[in-house]
Amino acid sequence: MKAKISLPKKLIPLFLGDADVRASHGGRGSGKTRSFAKMTAVRGYQKAMNGESGIILCGRQFQNSLDDSSLGEVKAAIQEEEFLLDFYEIGERFIRSKDGRISYSFSGLERNINSIKSKSRVLLSWIDEAEPVTDSAWQILIPTIREEESELWVTWNPARKSSPCESRFRHANDPLIKCVEMNWRDNPWFPDKLERERLRDQAYRPDSYEHIWEGGYITAVTGAYFAKHLSDARAENRIGNVRPDPLMKFHLFADIGGTGAKADAFVFWVSQIIGKEIRLVDYYEVVGQPIDAHLSWMRSRGYVPEKSQIWLPHDGVTNDKVYSVSYQSSFEAAGYNVEIVPNQGKGAAMLRVEAARRWLGSCFFDAEKTEAGLEALGAYHEKRDELRDIGLGPDHDWASHGADAFGMLCVVVEDLFVKPKKQEDHYVEHISWMG
């Protein structure tokens, strides 16, 4: 039997030939989700016709119920093709072939990833909305696809260049990992209603347009503290190629992490202050690394003691839980001049946010070297109680470490430039940005 199915032209080569992984990334309205849903059903049909039996596993990172799953997409896709509708039995909460060979399973990875390991005979696993899937989740999921001809399919709207989807699938140098970009213009059935929404976003929400419709990375999340400031910086060409001044001292502002398995990230913003311009020339962020790793990075980039000063938050005097030495003592032992920024007390996080907002207009960022830091600033946002519609202060997530270090930088710059100096000021009088 031959059946003719409808797919966007750009996706047809993706489903031809051998592959371990078939993936597609891009923006809203591209047709990739409906197309992948349809092709899971086609692949199940093909497997049954070859006498095979097993599970088609459809997963998403966040799935609290079947309402959050791909069940609805698969049902709609099957109903578009008569031969699939004849082959599958569709219930309110299930999809299975009428001969009993093929059944669908819908799982949320965040809550059920370990239970997926026990599933047998997974013929195909399709992970939709895969951007937030963690690397550890992929490490558990991928070995469950054990059959020689079984495949992993992945679809996502990119948000972060550093996400596991990007490195594992989009930028993989492997002929058996096939990946294609799909956006609205690649969908021959792109509806008029979505076109009107797209044009509205293009006109009135340009900050989010590239991510939503063109598959670009997020530069600032909705409600982010610094969204407008970063948009202004891009419009004013203050994000680009920023060369360090060899005569100026480097100032490295840190947010403290740790060396434990679940430690927070350790961050450095590397800056030079020229006049009242803050030039952000480099950014460093790692998780779980010892102090020696930070020192090695600094030396490799030329941030040596005679040219650099380190600024640590108040917990920089606290010993690391694994190595029982403080960051302050370790950096000073390596020859660096270290300043401890005192605890600002209650509301410190918002004080850093407000200082950053005041000084972002004076900042120039090296686009390449501070890319990860800019990503953190763009994602730093308020945590909200949606039920009561009230703000709960800055959300402590992956973006908070880079944002906290940047906010501390702005607090220090403001103290040195703006506030009148007193004998009891926090910072010694001989500190000079010129070094």
The two tokens of residue 373 are: 């830091």
| DSSP-derived 3-state class of residue 251 | strand
Backbone φ and ψ of 416, nearest 5°: -80, -35
Residues 85-107, mean pLDDT to the nearest whole number: 95
The distance of Cα 88 from the centroid of its chain, to the nearest Å, equals: 37
Predicted pLDDT of residue 220: 66
Residues 169-193, mean pLDDT to the nearest whole number: 95
CA distance 348 to 397: 17
- Give 279 or 345, the one with higher predicted confidence: 279
318 — pLDDT class (breaks 50, 70, 90) = low
pLDDT exceeds 60 at position 434: no
Residues 405-416, mean pLDDT to the nearest whole number: 92
364 — pLDDT class (breaks 50, 70, 90) = very high
Predicted pLDDT of residue 421: 53
Percent of the chain's residues with pLDDT above 90: 61
**405: alpha, beta or left, given left = phi > 0 and alpha = psi -120 to 50?**
alpha
The pLDDT mean for the chain works out to 87
Backbone φ and ψ of 219, nearest 5°: -100, -25
Which of 135-149, 177-191, 206-220, 224-238 is predicted most confidently?
177-191
> In degrees, to the nearest 5, what angle opens at C-alpha 391 toward C-alphas 386 and 397?
90
Residues 336-348, mean pLDDT to the nearest whole number: 87
Residues 375-398, mean pLDDT to the nearest whole number: 77
Segment among 94-103, 286-295, 390-399 with least mean pLDDT: 390-399
Segment 263-276, tens digit of pLDDT = 788 999 999 999 88
CATH value of 239-417 in 3.40.50.150, 3.30.70.1400, 3.40.47.10, 3.30.420.240: 3.30.420.240
CATH topology agreement for domains 18-186 and 239-417: no
DSSP conformation letters of 325-375: -BHHHHHHHTT-EEEEPPP--TTHHHHHHHHHHHHGGGEEEETTTTHHHHH
Segment among 48-57, 112-121, 331-340 with least mean pLDDT: 112-121
pLDDT exceeds 90 at position 240: yes
Which of 60-74, 103-117, 205-219, 293-307 is predicted most confidently?
293-307
Buried b (16+ CB within 10 A) or exposed e, 85-115: eebbeeeeeebbbeeebbbbbbbbbbeebee
Which of 132-136, 139-143, 173-177, 388-392 is predicted most confidently?
173-177
Half-sphere exposure of 391 (CA within 13 A, CB side): 9
Residues 289-307, mean pLDDT to the nearest whole number: 95
Residues 395-413, mean pLDDT to the nearest whole number: 92
**Is the pTM for the entire model greater than 0.75?**
no
Tell the CATH topology of 18-186: Rossmann fold (3.40.50)
> In degrees, to the nearest 5, what angle opens at C-alpha 42 toward C-alphas 36 and 136?
45
64 — pLDDT class (breaks 50, 70, 90) = confident
383 — pLDDT class (breaks 50, 70, 90) = confident
Predicted pLDDT of residue 393: 72
Domain boundaries, the chain: 18-186, 239-417
Residues 249-253, mean pLDDT to the nearest whole number: 97
